[in-house]
């Protein structure tokens, strides 16, 4: 099977924000193995002896199957990118395509991922990299495959930092839009007794299950299922995390109280800074009290509790 690489090379007033928004378009269109290149990004000291040379331009690349649906998908993708170009006022913008073999696609993007310490305690390590663990560090092994969630995205880092703050030993954990399962693995290693992950993508469900096993998490401590938001969840959880897009978070807020335990925490992320107020407004309307708001690289995470539980 062959794959098409779609690559956007760009320059903008805020390159990091443009990079994240282009990446989100790629993820929305289910382009796989999304790779980001930043000219000023390099591995931390001691981690990158065989790292690739620093790229010349900012770019985002993703892959889609070379099949009968490609023309329509690429057309819709370009329409979304044009809309974003106008909103972001990109000073330079170019889309290119090339066809590659499955074997080349499956491995080439791995060159871009390195271990990264993303919180006070947690290090995310791709399975194909070596890392010398320090005392008191928690290492999360991740092979993201086709799913989103290598730990390099700011929202993942924000979520794990908030999980460290909110999670108590023995808590139950629900991850809505689990992707690669990285937040589930982090929660268990930080002391959660049980984790349930939900994703509407069968590939993500499969990869999240494999990543939990890679991290040595016993099968009786987790489950990953295919589903839509919190629909079908019958039990309540002490900590619920939704690292998804802002408009989906807003929809989720209408039902998420029904899956929160008494005095339970809700963490929401995947929110661009200029969408923060809309999410907080909906949280207030649906009975939540915002406890903490954190930001990184124009992305925001919010933790909250039901108002009646915060007395």
* Per-residue model confidence (pLDDT) at position 47: 45
Q: Which of 232, 182, 227 is nearest to 207 (CA)?
A: 182
Is the Cα torsion angle 59, 60, 63, 68 positive or negative in sign? Answer: negative
pTM over 0.85: no
**Which domains, ranges and CATH numbers included, belong to the chain?**
2-112 (3.30.70.260), 116-309 (3.40.50.150)
Alpha-carbon distance values, 176 to 57, 111, 224, 230, 237 (Å):
34, 29, 10, 7, 12
Distance of alpha carbon 3 from alpha carbon 296, whole angstroms: 33
Q: Taking residues 213-229, what's their average pLDDT? A: 94
* Per-residue model confidence (pLDDT) at position 58: 86
Q: What is the pLDDT of residues 194-216, one digit of tens each?
A: 999 999 888 789 889 999 999 99
Alpha-carbon distance values, 2 to 29, 57, 63, 83, 106 (Å):
18, 26, 10, 29, 11
Report helix, strand or coil for 65: strand
Report helix, strand or coil for 197: strand
Q: What is the pLDDT of residues 60-119, one digit of tens each?
A: 888 888 887 788 888 888 888 888 887 777 777 888 888 887 666 656 667 767 888 989
Q: Please determine, for residue 41, whether its predicted confidence score (pLDDT) is greater than 60.
A: no
Structure-model confidence comparison of residues 2 and 120, the more confident one: 120
């Amino acid at each position: 099977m062959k794959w098409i690489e779609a690559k956007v090379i760009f320059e903008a007033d805020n390159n990091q924000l443009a990079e994240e928004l282009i990446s989100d378009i790629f993820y929305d269109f289910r382009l796989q193995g999304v790779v980001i290149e930043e000219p000023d990004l390099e591995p931390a000291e001691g981690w990158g002896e065989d790292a690739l040379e620093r790229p010349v331009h900012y770019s985002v690349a993703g892959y889609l199957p070379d099949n009968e649906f490609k023309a329509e998908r690429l057309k819709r993708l370009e329409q979304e990118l044009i809309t974003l170009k106008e909103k972001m006022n990109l000073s330079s913008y170019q889309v290119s395509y090339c066809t590659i073999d499955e074997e080349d696609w499956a491995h080439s993007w791995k060159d871009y991922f390195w271990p990264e310490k993303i919180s006070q305690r947690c290090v995310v390590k791709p399975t194909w990299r070596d890392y010398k663990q320090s005392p008191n560090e928690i290492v999360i092994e991740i092979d993201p495959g086709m799913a989103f969630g290598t730990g390099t995205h700011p929202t993942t880092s924000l979520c794990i930092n908030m999980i460290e703050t909110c999670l108590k030993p023995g808590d139950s954990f629900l991850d809505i839009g689990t992707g690669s399962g990285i937040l589930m693995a982090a929660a268990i290693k930080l002391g959660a007794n049980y984790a349930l992950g939900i994703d509407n993508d069968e590939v993500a469900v499969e990869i999240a299950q494999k990543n939990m096993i890679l991290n040595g998490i016993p099968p009786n401590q987790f489950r990953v299922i295919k589903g839509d938001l919190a629909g079908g969840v019958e039990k309540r959880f002490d900590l619920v995390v939704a690292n998804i897009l802002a408009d989906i978070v807003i929809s989720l807020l209408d039902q998420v109280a029904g899956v929160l335990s008494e005095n339970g925490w809700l963490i929401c992320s995947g929110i661009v800074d200029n969408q923060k107020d809309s999410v907080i407004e909906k949280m207030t309307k649906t009975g939540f009290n915002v406890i903490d708001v954190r930001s990184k690289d124009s992305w925001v995470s919010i933790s909250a509790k039901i108002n009646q539980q915060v007395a």
